[in-house]
């Protein structure tokens, strides 16, 4: 079955530590996205990638970094520079340019104390 796998489901970190969230897809989609969801604010775009070895900043990229070395994988690193990292993080993928909807993973809930 094709899909998007995010791991871990829950992550706890101390303030000042970098942490990497995993996102893997076997849908053969070229485009991948990272969104952050906070209560009452909907989904906000952090980074997206249309193709391997290329990615663009979204609306709230500060304090985050990504890489896209393989088509299937788009890991997100939350750095110590991110002021309010505690949130629910959603990874998604799609076929770009074909009016195709985003497919989402089940998310990672990150808590930083």
Partner 1 sequence: EDKVVQSPLSLVVHEGDTVTLNCSYEVTNFRSLLWYKQEKKAPTFLFMLTSSGIEKKSGRLSSILDKKELFSILNITATQTGDSAVYLCAVEGQGAQKLVFGQGTRLTINP
Closest to partner 1 by CB, 10 or 113: 10
Minimum distance from residue 92 beta carbon to partner 1 (Å): 8
Select 80 or 107, whichever has its Cβ closest to partner 1. 107
Residue 65 CA to residue 16 CA, distance in Å, equals: 15
Encoded tokens for 71: 């088509």
Nearest-approach distance from CB 54 to partner 1, in angstroms: 12
Q: Which helix H or strand E contains 44, and what residues bound it? A: strand 43-51
Looking at beta carbons only, is 6 or 82 nearer to partner 1?
6
Closer to partner 1 by CB, 3 or 17: give it: 3
C-alpha distance from residue 97 to each of 10, 30, 31, 57, 102 (Å): 33, 10, 10, 19, 12
Interface positions with partner 1 (CB under 8 A): 4, 31, 33, 35, 40-45, 48, 50, 58, 90, 96-97, 99, 101-107
Instruction: Tell the smallest beta-carbon distance from residue 110 to partner 1 (Å).
Output: 14
Burial label, 69 (beta-carbon count in 10 A; 0-12, 13-18, 19+)? exposed
Minimum distance, C-beta of residue 89 to partner 1, in the bound complex (Å): 11
Of 77, 25, 78, residue with least CA distance to 52: 25
């Amino acid at each position: 079955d094709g899909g998007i796998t995010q791991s871990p489901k829950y992550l706890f970190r101390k303030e000042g530590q970098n942490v990497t969230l995993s996102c893997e897809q076997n849908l053969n989609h070229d485009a991948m996205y990272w969104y952050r969801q906070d209560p009452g604010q909907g989904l906000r775009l952090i980074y997206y990638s249309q193709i391997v070895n290329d990615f663009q900043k979204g609306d709230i990229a500060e304090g985050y970094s990504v890489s896209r070395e393989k088509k299937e994988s788009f890991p997100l690193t939350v750095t110590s520079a991110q002021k309010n990292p505690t949130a629910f993080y959603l990874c998604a993928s799609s076929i770009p340019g074909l009016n195709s909807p985003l497919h989402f993973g089940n998310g990672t809930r990150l808590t930083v104390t």
